[in-house]
Structure 1
Amino acid sequence: MDFKDYYKILGVEPTADDKAIKTAYRKLARKYHPDVSKERDAEEKFKEANEAYEALSSPEKRAEYDELRKYGQHGRPFQGPPGWESRGGAGAGGGFAGGDFSEFFSSIFGAGGRGNGSPFGRGQQQRSAGRRGQDVEMELAIFLEESLSSESKQISFKVPQYNGHGQRTGDTTKTLNVKIPAGVTDGERIRLKGQGAPGIGGGANGDLYLTIRMAPHPLFDVEGHDLIITVPLAPWEAALGTKVAVPTLTGKINLTIRPDSQSGQRLRVKGMGLANKQGERGDLYAQLKVVMPSQSDAATRELWTKLSEKAGFNPRAQWSS
């Protein structure tokens, strides 16, 4: 198996902090999402970015990966340090079958319980007739907007095929239209009965399990069923008040900024967040952030000087004893 440099895949340095890793992943996930990207290898790159983020977003996994990274080079066979034993075991594939992680990932962190090469699924190793088909698991990435949609989402996945003796004969690609339930959250597991591998000798079909992954959004952060958006304001907008067209998942709203607003202040917009299981929506919080122009000329600085003298404001007055 080839070594994978997860830092290189995300385009960050090994010293990058959690925020930089999350930001890099968001950009790649948005760029290569199979539903929007037209690039030839978009699906493969999307899965690679997911796998890299899975390894680097967890402090424990990242520490373990960093230790092993000393012994690998990107694109070259990976053997591991002396005395190292792969956790992948039987059933760790070389690619991304049905949403599974790569062989390299599974060799470090384990296969995650995703199949074991048996046609009968977990705990059913016997190859007798009339056995239930293998369950299939895959990750399904959805945009925040899709969690509010009533339309079905088309998915494709690979289903293993076995003959009457329980011997694997290959894979077939299956396509389904799936209705995303209201209120789904990141990491939620959905069961689609009978959509897995066919049974053997007349046995029942296995099931399909979808693990929901909410694709990061370039504008919104998620807190439960609430959404957070940062609203940049010029200093004069915060001081004098203004109206700002703020994006939501279903369009734009005009948000009133009161005079003398403070950076970091949150304004609540009721019912513009994500839906819960009952179909009720959380709230949108607009977090104000005062930003300065990146450059100013002499005339502008003179005006700032006059304003500071006129205002007589000391923002650190509370420091005085």
Structure 2
Amino acid sequence: MTDTSGPRRPLVIAHRGASALRPEHTLAAYETAIALGADYIEPDLVATKDHVLVARHENDITDTTDVAARPEFAARRTTKIIDGRAHTGWFTEDFTLAELRTLRAIERLPDLRPANTAFDGLAQIPTFAEVVRLACEHGVGVYPETKHPTYFTELGLPLEEPMLDTLSRYGRQHETDQVFLQSFEAGNLRELRKRSRLPIIQLMYRGGRPYDGGPGYDAMMTPEGLAEVAGYADGIGVEAGCVLPIGPDQRVGEPSGLVERAHAAGLQVHIWTLRNENAFLPADHRRGDPGHPAYARAHGDPAGWLCRFVDLGVDGVFADDPGLARAVIG
């Protein structure tokens, strides 16, 4: 169990790299995050057809690569049921690593981050091994998330074993080795606890539940639920609204007390996701004229928003712009 006694500076976790400044989950995004002072870089992990772990937020690569413009892969567009929902597009598990390497990354949110489109077509999809190697070269932490672990296990492409093997190969296998393992599912985290002493983070959000069953996330955030989570995890990774609820008027309400409850259970609290754009901020921290066409993508007051969480004692923050988070946290 993690020691949460005494004041500490919250960790700056580069969400998908410096995704506010470069297309997400590219080496360029991770390198930029490191240069801006991130403590950890975060790769989301999915598997290729030949069982290589690569960094993508989803196994559906339609919106993050140029695959839709590649006629040689047109026939691979398909519909799949992933975690109970239908998705149509192109999927990593239908490509070998060599085939994925022919694709190039593109900006996922071009309307909100048009400047990032200047980097479209420049970067390949990185392997997890490349991300870990980069972290080791620069002495920063790595914070991998297993995406849809039940789905990939059912395909015969489990994520956990190759993830641990890769971390071990680069000397990241002890609880002090600057690694957090995270997942929205719970069963795989319980199994990871049996196999590894690396710190584990249970991801959760209001109203949801782990796809692999068990209590819903709201129940997990009660004192009893947090005590149960503390049996296999070292912390929780929660959407910001779980700590500071946002009301129907989109304004910030009173703190939920989750940070205190989690700390009482011996758990760290990491929040997601700090983003600069008005589109992602509560009304209290938006700036500019709502009637202006660029209002959604204009930067608001993310620094003030982050300060609220620092004052509440969170232990880490996932940030699309780790440089801004570093400037606030120090």
Same fold (TM over 0.5): no
Give the alignment's TM-score, normalised by structure 2.
0.25
- Name which structure has the greater RCO, CA cutoff 8 Å, separation 6+: 2
Larger radius of gyration: 1
The structure with more helix, counted as a fraction of residues: 2
Give the alignment's TM-score, normalised by structure 1.
0.26
